[in-house]
Structure 1
Amino acid sequence: MRTAVARRTAPFALAVAAVTAAGAGMTGTALADAPPGAWTATEITGLTAPALYGVTAPDRAHAWAVGTQSSSSAPLILSYRHGAWTQQAAPAGTAPELVDVASGGPSNVWAVGQGGGDATAKSLHWNGRAWKAVAYPLPLAMAVSVDSRGKAWSIGSNTDGSGAAVFRRTGGAWTDKGFALPDRGVVDALAARTPKDVWVGGATSSSADGLWHYDGTSWTQMDIPGNWPQWVLQIVALSPKDVWFYTIPQDPLFSGPDLVHWDGTAFTVTKTPSPSAKVGTYAQDVGFLGDIASDGRGGIWLQDSRTAYYRHFDGTAWTDVPRPANDLGGWPQVYDLAQVGRTQSVWGVGPGAGDRLLIDRFH
């Protein structure tokens, strides 16, 4: 799942940077053939200062995107059915910034939110007919995922980032699964493939990588090869031997994000194609670094929110695929990508401009 809203403001020194990446990742990068298909964009109007932070699509006929509107004062839920996006009403008291969404099918969708004080609903469930507010055990919901048995998992913490915990929805309640940070840090990414195969990502304040795996019994901190600790931003878990991670090495010159793959035995690290441009204060908006999603055929899509291209990685080489043209004078950031079911189609969402919002799709 993606890195969103409050997760964009990390509470420790390792996240503070405003540097220049001098040509990182592009030298000698081979380009593969583009995958069949094209990216198109759907424009949605009639909203006020909208932004989408999460998207999920259990199949071709259904998708949900969540975020905020009205200058982050009201939640935003969009539903895709019959080839069109429409707005859905959120339950009263819903947190104004919905930061993540996941689904186990068209009648089992979960969203989590932030902001609005302790009394607001921090988690929501769609049962195929309506959204229902669900009490959340901690003030700050960070991410949500749905496992193979249709049970929701979520990361939460206190508002100061302390007390991070991982929960599973069991017996009508959020159950603590015994995760504990070894030191001060932030946990921001979650992928629950099965009840015995769960990945959690983030960053620690020590030299350790921010990656943990749950086997159904206990948590193990994983070590990604490299000279610097990795901040894990995004996780795509396809099988026990096929897991992808979008990470930031915490080196002082900011060499740029990495794409990391787990084959069930070892990690492989690939530098992403980063433009030769000033990165800026990325610590205040980690969503600026974009997201990854499976392409449905063994590769990965990446949108780094800094270029007019979607990046495609086939396991060996990168391809630049143009983003859809628009008249906004630039390309909106992309905060979340989601594979459509088990197909080769992908949705992409991010913030809008004025009363307009663009939702990208590859198919």
Structure 2
Amino acid sequence: MALAVAAVAVSGGTAHGEARWSAADLAGVGSALLYGVTRVDDDSTWAYGVGVSGEGKVRPTTPLLLARDGDAGGWRQVPMQGFAGSGSTNRINSLDAVGEDDAWAVGDHEGQRGAIHTQHWDGSTWRVVEAPVPEDVVINDAGLLDVSARAGDDVWAVGWITVVDSEVPHADVPGGVIQETHNEAVVQHWDGEAWRLVRVPGASSLMVNSVAAVADDDVWVSGYTAEDQPAMLHYDGRSWSRVAVPYDGVNGELIDLEARGAGDVWAAGRKLDDDEDRGHALVAHWNGRAWQQVSAPASAGRVKDLALAPGGVTVAGEQADGRPYVMRLRDGRWSDLGVPEGGAAGSRYLAGLTWTSRGVTVAANDWGAAGLTSPVLLTGGR
């Protein structure tokens, strides 16, 4: 199987890449973390994450959704419900839409409810929908990291559970316990009535990060194994199978998946060349018959997010020294889009990106004082 299907020629951005990007005015949002951004339809783009209050030692969280209606408009904050309680985790980890009146947001586990936080949009309101966790094990954490909405009765989500293997009293902490745990993959399916857990092979030694539902008999799930090897699962409508993704590294992970159709699926993440390596970009493409590694520039560090773009894809990630980058692969050629580093002392990190008619929209976060963060939305880079 060939390992490389694209040239590695790289064209640089402008000498002053920051001039090609425009930043949204998010001053009214306050302290928050963005986890991603997605193009809902031709007119709407949504960015999502979690709002964080800076009052006192306890910082309450609320789901954060920002919407831009039309590529020329500004961003507005959309109210969303959260799980109640001081210990609730209300972040939105991922969001996807069938259309403007049918969308899903997925988040984390709420211990008091014993369920995972998801929300559904019906065109007028967001409604909290609980997703189950396995009942045959004891868990202390769980969440859904990605969602792919194909139809009103065909939505897939993937994530993890932390299973408690053993528990003993903590000798130095009255009432405390010491737990031994392990993580397992979780796959869930919305059938139009409820979220239902779906068994996948090797879940106990697998972490999954992303899902792409192409059809009811064509679903891809990516992640990595307990041995830190890239992993890919495929569902053909009847059963799940492991599919090999070749790559020229000793270890690696697949972080994101995007699909145009049955014969055009993309995956991205990180590969390690040796034990001292901090990671290089890993990009792969499914052509309908096999996965092939796509050569990426040596300067590209791990990929944190992938988005489809005309003639190829765009990727966002970080270099070995922590500096953010956005690159585009178009017609077999990579170009560096020169995303501004921003933040204080290089404290900006990229959370996600999507393609719009104006170019690339990037969700990022700038670290500030006292551990608070400021959300950033940049558009440009064509």
Deviation at 1:329, TM superposition (A): 5.6
Greater per-residue strand proportion: 2
In the TM superposition, residue 34 of structure 1 has moved relative to its aligned partner by 7.2
Are the counterparts in 2 of residues 148 and 194 from structure 1 also a CA contact under 8 Å? no
Q: Calculate the aligned-residue CA RMSD, in Å.
A: 3.1
Given candidates 186, 192, 198, the residue that maps to 2:207 is 186
* Residues 73-222 of structure 1 mapped to structure 2, 5 A cutoff: 73-74=60-61, 75-81=63-69, 83-93=73-83, 95-114=89-108, 116-119=110-113, 122-138=117-133, 139-147=142-150, 151-160=154-163, 162-181=183-202, 183-206=204-227, 209-222=230-243
Structure of greater Rg: 2
Q: Distance in 1 between matches of 2:290 and 2:116?
A: 40
Kindly indicate whether residue 314 of structure 2 is the aligned counterpart of residue 256 of structure 1.
no
Q: Return 120-129 or 196-205, whichever deviates more.
A: 120-129
Structure 1 residues 325 and 229, CA gap change in structure 2 (3 angstroms): closer
C-alpha change, 1:252 and 1:232, in structure 2 (3 Å) is same
- Structure 1: runs of 5+ lacking an equivalent: 1-27, 280-287
Q: C-alpha distance in 2, partners of 1:346/1:268?
A: 25
Task: Please identify, of 211-220 and 303-312, the stretch whose mean Cα deviation from structure 2 is larger.
Answer: 303-312
Structure 1 length as normaliser, TM-score?
Answer: 0.77
1:27-69, CA deviations, whole angstroms, 9 ceiling, x for partnerless residues? Answer: x94225879x954321301233211102222223212221112
Are 2:39 and 1:57 aligned? yes
Is it true that 1:236 corresponds to 2:240 in the alignment? no
How many angstroms apart in 2 are the aligned matches of 1:33 and 1:338?
21
Equivalent residue for 1:351, pick from 352, 365, 369: 365
Secondary structure in 2 aligned to 1:335? strand
Picking from 312, 316, 322, the partner of 1:299 is 312
Task: Write the deviation string for residues 56-95 of structure 1: whole angstroms up to 9, x where unpaired.
Answer: 2222321222111226741212122251211122214173
Structure 1: distance between partners of 2:265 and 2:190: 23
1:163-204 deviation line (CA, Å, top 9, x unaligned): 423221113101233323255231111111222221111111
Q: 1:260-339 maps to which residues of 2 (within 5 A)?
A: 260-275=284-299, 289-295=303-309, 297-306=310-319, 307=323, 309-324=325-340, 330=346, 332-339=348-355
Structure with more relative contact order (C-alpha pairs < 8 Å, separation 6 or more): 1
Letter in 2 for 1:204: T
C-alpha distance in structure 1 between counterparts of 2:298 and 2:263, whole Å: 27
Instruction: Give the Cα–Cα distance (whole angstroms) in 2 for the partners of residues 270 and 357 of structure 1.
Output: 32
Query: Is 1:73–1:96's contact at 8 Å kept on the other side of the alignment?
Result: no
User: Could you tell me how far apart the structure 2 residues matched to 1:207 and 1:292 are?
Assistant: 20
TM-score by length of 2: 0.74
Which letter maps to 1:136?
A
- Separation of aligned partners in 2, 1:81 and 1:155: 28
Q: Distance in 2 between matches of 1:171 and 1:300?
A: 31
Letter in 1 for 2:117: K
Aligned length: 322
The amino acid that maps onto 1:235 is: L
2:269–2:304 Cα contact (<8 Å) kept: no
2:172 maps to which residue? none
Show structure 2 runs of 5+ residues with no match: 1-6, 54-58, 134-141, 164-181
* Aligned equivalents of 1:327, 1:183: Cα separation in 2: 39
**Superposed displacement of residue 346, structure 1:** 3.3
CA distance in 2, matches of 1:262, 1:121: 31
Find the residue that maps to 2:123 and give its secondary structure: coil
Deviations 1:277-299 (A, max 9, x none): xx8xxxxxxxx74211111x221
Is 2:37 the counterpart of 1:42?
no
Q: Secondary structure at the match of 1:186?
A: strand
The 8 Å contact of residues 69 and 76 in structure 1, kept in 2 or not, is answered as yes
Instruction: Output one character per residue of 1:100-150: Cα deviation in whole Å (capped at 9) or x when no partner.
Output: 111111111111112553427610111111110001112422221111566
